[in-house]
């Protein structure tokens, strides 16, 4: 029986802003005291996490002096080296301060766009100093409520300009960052640009250095758009673009709930873990979620433990699924093979096309066969319910 104890080799990470979430929402004040970054580091290490991620201002207040920055940084670095926790990913807060109320890189105001790039370069310096190799761009405020300014095409051009600039900056500094775009359809803006994984993939192809850019998909965000998150992640993997992942959970179609991983949609969480494990994704398993506003600090650590434990249980379920003879036989029967026809369809040639056109197919019989998905799905459910 596996013990489901999280260890650094599992590459579980949390953001300072996740376990540090104080329970504020648009209708109510914080329900928890802020936790010091170093305290979070020691606690996460104790729970078996591998790393901690941060926005520049999760650690260094936006108006900190140079001396304050130095002091905070040295305390934080000491906590990292004492605990063995790493900082695999860093990012910029381009959404909290009023200056970014109408966007950062995509703001219609050239002065604000320039400030956003300036702030990001400093944040990239900070991330690099802490050892981060993945840099996330969540376009929180990169969007609009009013389209009458006819700013969308400009906004995309500005976005591209900023990302191109920052990729060059990273290379010029030798930081070795890989950049991960994190799509979200809306909230905090009425509409956010690059709303879903597919949109971000399309945009990356238009950048100067597309190989440096990939995705940081988040469960809750694709679900807010009513999409299938497992499909979105599969598309990112297929494109070689799964650079990072934000694991959490969400009820379909609601505000960004950032629930504990696996709290709502167990089958989806299972299929996601299975996809990540089967495809040998070796990046961080980052939980971008937070404890419910109802909870006190003890609830925060229960939440963190729960995310990791659920992942490990589902990983074990995925292993069982792959070894379950009946399930595997059903999958084999589902994926009907035909070596002769596949040879013809694999690659176009005039000869293959002619041969395929001349083939006789029993369309009626092909349409009559049931692929056996009801049984396969039921067995999957039973496996998840512990009945296999
Ligand atoms: C913010 C957002 C997340 C992003 C973070 C990175 S910040 O909490 O809701 O989805 O991943 O900027
Ligand atoms: Mn979210
Ligand atoms: Mn996220």
pLDDT digits 0-9 by tens, 15-32: 999 999 999 999 999 999
Give distance in angstroms: CA of 257 to centre of ligand 1. 12
Q: Cβ distance 139 to 192 under 8 Å?
A: yes
Mean of pLDDT values over 321-340 = 98
Please tell me the pTM assigned to this model: 0.97
* Tokens describing residue 211: 């190989």
* Tokens describing residue 148: 């009458």
**SS3 call for 341:** helix
Mean of pLDDT values over 2-16 = 97
Ligand nearest to the CA of 217: 3
Residues in CB range of 281: below 8 A, 6 or more apart: 237, 242, 245, 275
Residues with CB under 5 A from ligand 3 (ion): 218, 246, 288
Reported confidence tier of residue 97, pLDDT bands at 50, 70, 90: very high
| pLDDT (0 to 100) of residue 68 | 98
Ligand nearest to the CA of 257: 2
Distance from C-alpha of 135 to C-alpha of 113, rounded to nearest angstrom: 19
Q: Does the annotation count 147 as an active-site position?
A: no
In 10 A of CB 181, how many CB atoms?
26
Ligand 1 pocket residues where CB is under 6 Å: 17, 55, 91, 136, 138, 182, 218, 246, 256, 288
Work out the mean pLDDT of the chain and round it to a whole number.
Answer: 98
Mean of pLDDT values over 152-159 = 98
Reported confidence tier of residue 39, pLDDT bands at 50, 70, 90: very high
What percent of the chain is modeled with pLDDT above 70?
A: 100
| pLDDT (0 to 100) of residue 107 | 97
* Tokens describing residue 386: 């512990």
- Where does residue 2 rank: exposed (0-12), middle (13-18), buried (19+ CB within 10 A)? exposed
Answer yes or no: is pLDDT of 177 > 90: yes
Mean of pLDDT values over 334-346 = 98
End-to-end Cα distance, the chain: 15
| pLDDT (0 to 100) of residue 150 | 83
| pLDDT (0 to 100) of residue 1 | 77
Tens digits of residue pLDDT in 305-317: 999 999 999 999 9
Q: Cβ distance 273 to 243 under 8 Å?
A: no
**SS3 call for 101:** coil
Give distance in angstroms: CA of 151 to centre of ligand 2. 26
Tens digits of residue pLDDT in 190-201: 999 999 999 999
In 10 A of CB 153, how many CB atoms?
8
Catalytic choice (10, 25, 29, 55): 55
Q: Cβ distance 235 to 281 under 8 Å?
A: no
Q: Does the annotation count 288 as an active-site position?
A: no
Residues in CB range of 363: below 8 A, 6 or more apart: none
Mean of pLDDT values over 126-136 = 98
What are the C-alpha distances in Å from 54 to residues 89, 191, 315, 357, 367?
A: 7, 25, 27, 58, 53
Mean of pLDDT values over 316-330 = 98
Give distance in angstroms: CA of 306 to centre of ligand 1. 20
Give distance in angstroms: CA of 299 to centre of ligand 1. 21
Q: DSSP letters of 27-72?
A: TB---S----HHHHHHHHHHHT--EEEEEHHHHS-TT--HHHHHHH
* H/E segment holding residue 214: strand 213-215
| pLDDT (0 to 100) of residue 368 | 98
Q: DSSP letters of 15-34?
A: EHHHHT----BTTB---S--
Q: Cβ distance 133 to 177 under 8 Å?
A: yes
């Amino acid at each position: 029986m596996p013990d489901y104890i999280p260890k650094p080799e599992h590459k579980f990470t949390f953001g300072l802003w996740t376990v540090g979430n104080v329970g504020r929402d648009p209708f109510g004040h914080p329900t928890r005291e802020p936790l010091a970054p170093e305290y979070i580091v020691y606690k996460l290490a104790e729970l078996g996490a591998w790393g901690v991620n941060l926005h520049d201002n999760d650690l260094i207040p936006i108006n900190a002096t140079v001396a304050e920055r130095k002091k905070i940084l040295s305390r934080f670095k000491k906590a990292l080296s004492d605990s063995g926790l790493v900082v695999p990913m860093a990012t910029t807060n381009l959404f909290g301060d009023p200056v970014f109320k109408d966007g950062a890189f995509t703001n219609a105001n050239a002065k604000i766009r320039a400030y956003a790039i300036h702030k990001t370069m400093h944040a990239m310096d900070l991330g690099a100093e802490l050892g981060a190799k993945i840099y996330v761009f969540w376009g929180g405020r990169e969007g609009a409520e009013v389209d009458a300014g006819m700013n969308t095409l400009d906004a995309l051009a500005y976005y591209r300009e900023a990302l191109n600039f920052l990729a060059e900056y990273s290379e010029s500094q030798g930081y070795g960052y890989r950049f991960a775009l994190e799509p979200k359809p809306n909230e905090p803006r009425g509409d956010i640009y690059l709303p879903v994984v597919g949109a971000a993939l399309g945009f990356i192809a238009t950048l100067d250095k597309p190989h440096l850019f990939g995705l940081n998909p988040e469960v809750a965000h694709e679900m807010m758009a009513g999409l299938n998150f497992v499909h979105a992640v599969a598309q990112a993997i297929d494109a070689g673009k799964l650079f990072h992942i934000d694991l959490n959970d969400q009820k379909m179609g609601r505000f960004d709930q950032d629930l504990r991983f696996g709290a709502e949609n167990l089958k989806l969480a299972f299929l996601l873990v299975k996809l990540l494990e089967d495809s040998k994704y070796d990046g961080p398993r980052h939980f971008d979620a937070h404890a419910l506003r109802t909870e006190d600090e003890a609830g925060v650590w229960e939440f963190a433990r729960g995310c990791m434990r659920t992942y490990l249980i589902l990983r074990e379920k995925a292993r069982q699924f792959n070894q379950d003879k009946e399930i595997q036989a059903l999958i084999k029967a589902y994926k009907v093979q035909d070596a002769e026809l596949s040879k013809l369809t694999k690659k176009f040639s005039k000869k293959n096309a002619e041969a395929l056109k001349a083939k006789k197919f029993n369309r009626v019989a092909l349409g009559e066969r049931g692929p056996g998905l009801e049984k396969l799905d039921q067995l999957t459910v039973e496996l998840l319910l512990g009945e296999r």
